[in-house]
Structure 1
Amino acid sequence: MRPLLASLPLLALLGGCSYLPTWDSLPTVTGEKVLGFVTPYRVEVVQGNVLTKEMVARVKPGMPKAQVRDLLGSPLLTDVFHESRWDYVFTIRRQGTAYQQRLVVATFDGDKLKELTVPDDLPAENDFVAAINTFKPDRKQPKLELSEAERGALPPPKKSAEAAPTAAAEGPAPGRTYPPLDAKTGTGS
């Protein structure tokens, strides 16, 4: 009788397994959710150079390599076998935003810029910031500053009837001694 009673919890546990999804029906971890209900944390990955329309507009054919590097930054990829080509690759993967990848290619003739190949979807700076902004617009943002009308409506600070004496007039608090700041002269300078 005892072995039968001891095996009842095991049988109940095995009977509950029929309610679990089968191995073939489980979603993959690469999807948005694991097991259909858990959303894993995804690490924010930003790689490469952020280039905007404003930055690329400053670069003109005929500029030396050093000036292009000053305006666009160091390229992510430089090929030893193709020294005349610089690849500016940018990728960003953030939770809550779409995956972004862009490639800007600078081609040189000797030390001078020959051509800058720019993708059509290269955003302006404001568009780029808006694309990666994950703050919800419906959330109320805290107010950081008062307007002039609000400042004027504030009551003036209360003045106490007995003005507190200043610390400089009294000197240091009784019973406190401080070591000299400079061991040789006893002064701070």
Structure 2
Amino acid sequence: MYSIIRWGRLVGPLAAAAALCGCGSLQSSDNVLGFVTPYRIEVVQGNVVTREMAAAVKPGMSRAQVRDILGSPLLTDAFHTDRWDYIFTIRRSGAEPQRRVVTAHFQGEQLSRLEADDALPTEAQFVASIDTFKKRGKTPQLELTEQQLQALPTPTPKPQPGEAEPAPPPARTYPPLEP
């Protein structure tokens, strides 16, 4: 009996050490046991500034007008009060990570210039770049063809003024709720 307890004291810590070593190797990859992948949270920070939005901002606009078009800046520096930074980052599973920087420079209350990445996308290009559903198959048709329109049943015509309207259904009577 004493030898069983002695063996248990020796085997127990060795088994625990082996299990911990195995857990460390499983956590080093993106999936567990080769087929289970952990959930990755989508991180979106900042304001999306598209090519159309940047084109709408003109030098000489007030701070309020720039804020109306581009939104509130992600970063306003206390030491550089005449500069607003619009930084946008997104990490979405199934799409490439994106980072864009747009900087608005002011002289007093008027916009002097807008610095932006050369590759600002249009709104349609931005939506296409983060669309992870496009891999799922064919997009459904949203409009009917002429042949499908003709196959639809014809609606019932509304009564013309002066024609007798149909009689309302008879009133229903219900028994009282209390005896």
Q: Do they fold alike, i.e. is TM over 0.5?
A: yes
- Counterparts of 1:102-181 in structure 2, within 5 Å, are 102-137=100-135, 139-154=137-152, 169-175=168-174
Q: Secondary structure at the match of 1:170?
A: coil
Q: How far did 1:146 drift?
A: 2.8
Question: C-alpha separation between the residues in 1 aligned to 2:69 and 2:82?
Answer: 18
The residue correspondences of 1:50-69 to structure 2 (distance < 5 A) are: 50-69=48-67
Give the CA deviation at 1:55: 0.6
**Preserved CA contact (<8 Å) 1:49 1:75:** yes
Segments of 5+ residues of structure 2 without an aligned counterpart are: 156-165
Q: Which moved more, 1:168-177 or 1:94-103?
A: 168-177
Aligned equivalent of 2:76, options 55, 75, 78? 78
Deviation at 1:46, TM superposition (A): 1.5
In structure 1, the partner of 2:159 is none
After superposition, what is the alpha-carbon deviation per residue over 1:94-137, rounded to whole angstroms, capped at 9, x for unaligned?
11111111110111111111221101221111110110111134
Q: Structure 1 residues 98, 175: closer, same or farther in 2, change over 3 A?
A: same
Q: Considering only aligned residues, what root-mean-square deviation do their CA atoms show, in Å? A: 3.4
Residue 85 and residue 169 in structure 1: after superposition, are their counterparts in 2 closer, same or farther (change >3 A)? same
Query: SS in structure 2 opposite 1:69?
Result: helix
Unpaired segments ≥5 residues, structure 1: 158-165, 179-189
What is the number of residues matched between the two proteins?
157
Q: How far has the Cα of 1:147 moved from its partner?
A: 2.2
Aligned to 1:162: none
Contact 1:27 1:36 in 2 (8 A): no
Distance 1:131 1:62 in 2: 33
CA distance in 1, matches of 2:150, 2:176: 45
* Structure number with higher relative contact order (C-alpha < 8 Å, ≥ 6 residues apart): 2
Are residues 45 and 177 of structure 1, via their aligned partners in 2, closer, same or farther at CA, if it must alter by over 3 Å?
Answer: farther
Q: Percent identity?
A: 54
Q: Equivalent residue for 2:95?
A: 97
2:90 maps to a residue whose letter is I
- Superposed displacement of residue 175, structure 1: 1.5
Compute the TM-score of the two structures, normalised by the length of structure 1. Answer: 0.67
Query: Following the alignment from structure 1 to structure 2, what is the Cα–Cα distance between the partners of residues 122 and 177?
Result: 70
Q: Distance in 2 between matches of 1:27 and 1:114?
A: 51
**Alignment-mate amino acid for residue 71 of structure 1:** I
Conserved? CA contact 1:97–1:134, under 8 Å = yes
1:33 aligns with 2:20: no
* Matching residue's letter, 2:68: D
* Change in CA separation of 1:41 and 1:105 when aligned onto 2, cut-off 3 Å: same
Shift of 1:93: 1.3
Structure 1 or 2: more helix by fraction: 2
| CA displacement, residues 71-114 of structure 1 (integer Å, 9 cap, x when unaligned) | 11111111122111101011111111111111101111111112
8 A contact 1:88–1:103 mirrored in 2: yes
